Amino acid sequence: MSSAHPAEPDPAEAATAPLWRAVQAFRLVTLLYAVGQQIASVRYYENQWLSWFFIALMVIWSGISALLLAQVHGPGTARIRPLVVLGDHLLVLGLIAATPLVADYAWYHGHQPLPTTMWSANAVISAAILRGPLAGVASGLLIAATIITMRQQWGEDVWADATAPVLVSVGLALGLAADTARRAQEQLQRAVRLTAATEERERLARQVHDGVLQILSYIKRRGTEIGGPAGELAQRAGEQEVALRRLISEQAAGRETGETTVDLRPLLTAHATPRVVVSTPGEPVRIGRWTAREIAAAVAAALTNVDLHAGPEARAYILLEDTGTELIVSVRDDGVGIAPGRLVEAEHEGRMGVSRSITGRIAALGGTAELLTAETVGEGTEWEFRIPRT
């Protein structure tokens, strides 16, 4: 079933279209040179009328092939170009082989074949653009071998003739240029698609944050305050809020697919709620992907402790600073604080949330995690993570 939307242009076609148009100018120049060579050499031919017939055939084909190869996009472009390139080769090889029909051995043994070497290079160029450097080199070798065979130069003369090196070099250079253009076009289209997908994810994340997450947070808070049957509703709302925040965070972490660094800011701003305020720099804070995820996980663990221990009315504040040499992440709340000796007591009881989820993660990054307001009840709690940028 046909789609209602137009198909996306083939990257290979879009990349090589300028090359196809440009080489047709070369085809015109070489055609003029071939006609000039015919005018200068026709008096030495044995069959002059036949030579003019071959030249007319070359002129007609040059016009047809130039129009077909130079078109940018159109129905059947991918199917027509290989046929035109094949026709190029058949005509070039046929004209080279027909040279003895219009001139004697003494002439063609020491001169260019009938279509001239320059005009023959059009077939090599077309093959290189169509299929890459290997096809270009193969085409150059084929045409050069045909010319050498026709001129009977397989002896020592072959090393003094520049035909083969020139044709092979042209095929190699244009083939590499075409392949480079195709790769660049594919990378450009991937970047465009990635940018569009990123913008769409950011739009959806804003909508989720502005609407759904705030409602879930409100239901969780009010249900907890009301208690009873509403407490279960609050618990379910809290679970869905956490799941949505994790999804947004993972989407933000996956934006730079194929890159080794990510922007830390979206991983932290995903935690923003009416009770959690996040402040980050205006410019991207790009760090290693694994480092960013570990920092975000430590921040999530600190916020979990706020939800569990700081009190129902506590608010949390996340601050990210980039000094150039290190990252400083602060997670502060205005809750009830931590009772003296509570952290040591929790660790002895086997509760390793703080030591493993927070300090352990930051230590693994070569940084430090310091609890600035520890042992102080009623003044809230503040974690400060310092991670070197190395």
Encoded tokens for 342: 């509570």
pLDDT at 281 over 60: yes
The distance of Cα 373 from the centroid of its chain, to the nearest Å, equals 47
Per-residue pLDDT tens digits for 148-180: 888 776 665 555 667 778 888 888 888 888 888
Backbone angles phi, psi at 35, to 5 degrees: -65, -40
pLDDT value at position 320?
A: 92
Give the burial class of 154: count Cβ atoms within 10 A of its Cβ; 0-12 exposed, 13-18 middle, 19 or more buried. Answer: exposed
Taking the complete model, does pTM exceed 0.75, yes or no? Answer: no
Whole-number pLDDT of residue 2: 41
What pLDDT is attached to residue 327? 92
Cα–Cα distance, 352 to 386 (Å, whole number) = 21
d(CA 174, CA 375): 73
Q: How far apart are CA 246 and CA 251, in angstroms?
A: 9
Radius of gyration of the chain (CA): 37
Give pLDDT tens digits for 187-235. 887 777 777 776 776 666 666 655 676 777 778 777 777 877 777 777 7
In CATH terms, the superfamily for domain 259-390 is Histidine kinase-like ATPase, C-terminal domain (3.30.565.10)
CB 303 within 8 A of CB 358: no
Q: What is the DSSP letter of 196?
A: H
Number of CB atoms found within 10 A of residue 181's CB: 19
- Binned at pLDDT 50, 70 and 90, residue 80 comes out as confident
pLDDT, position 386: 93
pLDDT of res. 318: 92
User: For residue 339, what are the CA distances in angstroms to 84, 373, 375, 381?
Assistant: 84, 11, 6, 11
